[in-house]
Amino acid sequence: MNRESFFNWIEMGSVSIPSVLLRNYNRIGLDEEEVMALIHMHSFLERGNYFPTPEQLAARMTVSPHKCMQILRTCIQKGMLKIEEQEDPVQNIYSETYTLRPLWEKLIRVLEEDEIDEESVKNKEDEQQIYTIMEKEFGRPLSPIECETLTMWLDQDNHDPAIIIAALKESVLSGKLNFRYIDRILFEWKKNGIQSVDEAKQYGEKFRQQRYRRTENTYSPPEKTDFPYYNWLEQS
């Protein structure tokens, strides 16, 4: 390749093709001919040609101008491509332009769906982990009523799995390992706007310290305990 040819090649520029398009065009209903035509359309738009003709597209592809026209029409019908009217305010002239915005919007929805699916899988894994942790802490399988209560915390009360586990740890810390006690803890946290594990820890520590100070003024415990006791069931 001589130097002049190399410079011409550089000046032709390059086109960035989103990998999300290559990975998901079949999911949004495009075939290979259609996606190739849209990639060429993207290239024309990038270089400032906002309304390439079927003949110009066909010159880059292995199909006829008539076939290119059919492909463009199909892409418009599928909501992948759109024709907009632009006005030149200086010359007061209207012109038609293609836009690939509908295509990009469809791909954004695909990404959002994937995020939702990943979050759903993670939530199911977290929920299954809760059952495992609960049974390990209780030292036995959960009863049907306990399983129903746990499902209610997740589905009806919309408690985060991490918050439920934190409430379980709080009940163990308070020496009151039962579902009624855990339910009261979750109720108090929700009432006081607790939304994270760190907030739950701080809230629990604060009330245990308050409880400990109150009981310290009335009697001296027979022996020192590692953790001050706080009865969540006495909260009103």
Residue 94, helix vs strand vs coil: strand
Q: How far apart are alpha carbons 3 and 200 in whole angstroms? A: 68
216, 210, 138, 128: which is closest to 172 by C-alpha?
138
Q: What are the CB-based long-range contacts (under 8 Å, 24+) for 224-227?
A: 227/173
Q: What is the DSSP letter of 18?
A: P
With contact defined as beta carbons under 8 Å apart, do 161 and 123 qualify?
yes
pLDDT band at 225 (very low <50, low <70, confident <90, very high): very low
Which domains does the chain possess?
Answer: 3-106 (1.10.10.10), 142-234 (1.10.10.630)
Single pTM value for the model = 0.54
Q: How far apart are alpha carbons 155 and 150 in whole angstroms? A: 9
198-209 residue pLDDT tens? 888 887 777 667
Distance between terminal CA atoms of the chain? 84
User: What's the whole-number average pLDDT of the chain?
Assistant: 83
**Is residue 34 pLDDT above 80, yes or no?**
yes
